[in-house]
């Protein structure tokens, strides 16, 4: 009988991310996005990981913490969205389940919407730390969505040193 090991896909993805995070800082977000992409649409990726929803806002669940980066699963109920923000660190994210809309904005008071892209399971997006690379993620669909995010700083700093909230 062939039995699938729990977390095999997640462990393989985390190992690939870890390897990508040991590369030079310039372009790391691209290599991390490429490393996670082959695993994102595996329905078993988070099969034995507890990632409960929150009724009031999206919620982060720590999956792994490296020396200078953190990997989290974000759970988005229908209608939940991030604030309009830029990142103070490099970042890469990919869709595991559901569909999200990534909105892009031009700097200004207030920031001006310039584009929107649907992110489907298996899709990735990434960006360097830049205060003029402004976006918002939103679950505009009727089903819960789960995205995997990797940020270039320790998880304990996510609440204070990750996002530059703009609107």
Annotated binding-site residue numbers for Fe cation: 85, 87, 135
Identify whether the C-beta of residue 114 lies closer than 8 Å to the C-beta of residue 59: no
DSSP 4: P
Beta bridge partners of 147: 74, 95
C-alpha to C-alpha distance for 69 and 29, rounded to whole angstroms: 11
Question: Is the CA virtual torsion 78, 75, 89, 118 positive or negative?
Answer: negative
Bind-site residues: 85, 87, 135
Strands 59-65 and 70-76: antiparallel
C-alpha to C-alpha distance for 34 and 36, rounded to whole angstroms: 6
C-alpha to C-alpha distance for 21 and 28, rounded to whole angstroms: 7
How far are the Cα atoms of 14, 67, 110, 133, 162 from residue 87, in angstroms, in the given order? Answer: 22, 19, 17, 8, 6
In 37-156, which ranges are continuous DSSP H helix? none
């Amino acid at each position: 009988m062939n039995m699938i090991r729990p977390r095999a896909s997640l462990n393989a993805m985390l190992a690939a991310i870890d390897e990508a995070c040991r590369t030079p800082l310039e372009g790391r977000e691209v290599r991390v996005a490429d490393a996670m992409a082959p695993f994102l649409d595996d329905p078993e990726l988070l099969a034995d990981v507890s990632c409960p929803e929150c009724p009031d806002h999206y919620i982060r669940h720590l999956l792994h913490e490296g020396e200078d980066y953190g990997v989290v699963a974000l759970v988005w109920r229908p209608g939940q969205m991030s604030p309009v923000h830029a990142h103070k660190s490099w970042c890469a994210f990919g869709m595991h389940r559901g569909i999200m809309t990534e909105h892009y904005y031009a700097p200004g008071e207030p920031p001006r919407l310039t584009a929107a892209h649907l992110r489907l399971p298996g899709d990735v997006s990434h960006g360097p730390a830049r205060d003029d690379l402004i976006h918002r993620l939103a679950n505009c669909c009727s089903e819960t969505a789960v995205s995997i995010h990797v940020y270039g700083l320790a998880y304990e700093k996510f609440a204070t040193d990750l996002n530059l909230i703009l609107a």
